[in-house]
Structure 1
Amino acid sequence: MSSTAINKVVKMMESLSVEIQEQIAEHLQEYISDLQDEAQWEKSFQKTQAKLVAAARNARQEIAQGKSVPMDYEQL
């Protein structure tokens, strides 16, 4: 799939030296990889969000009922 924006970027890059094209390509690959990682993280978070909310509610309930004790950071 090709868009007008992609075509414009390709034409702009073609006017540059090969060395600069390679630098740009490397930056774009890193940027796209970061975006893919972020999208995967968001997808994973969405799958577990209901469980996280339930765990937080459970923790609050246990605190209110006196079933929990403060964390001893010295034991970590």
Structure 2
Amino acid sequence: MSSAAIKDLVEIVEALPSEVQQQVVEHLREYIADLQDEQRWDISFSRTQSALVTAARQAKREKAMGKATAMDYK
């Protein structure tokens, strides 16, 4: 975010009553934490994607060869 955008955000929040400012800050913290969590998941998934594709292909081959068995979910 550019410093101009941050300045705009600060001005908007400063114009609010202090209790509302606190609510905005808490919402922003939660929103930013969610964004960071999504980024971590995206990075983790991108690092393991080729391994997941390989495992899926192996599972399909085993199923086609009759080596797969149904999972017991109980």
TM-score higher than 0.5: yes
Number of residue pairs matched? Answer: 74
Match of 1:49 in 2: 49
Deviation at 1:9, TM superposition (A): 0.9
The SS at the match of 2:63 is helix
Supply the RMSD in Å over aligned alpha carbons: 1.3
Question: Which sections of structure 2, spanning at least 5 residues, go unmatched?
Answer: none
Deviation at 1:2, TM superposition (A): 4.7
* Identity, % of aligned positions: 54
CA distance in 1, matches of 2:52, 2:14: 48
Deviation at 1:4, TM superposition (A): 1.6
CA distance in 2, matches of 1:57, 1:16: 56
Deviation at 1:3, TM superposition (A): 2.2
CA distance in 2, matches of 1:4, 1:55: 47
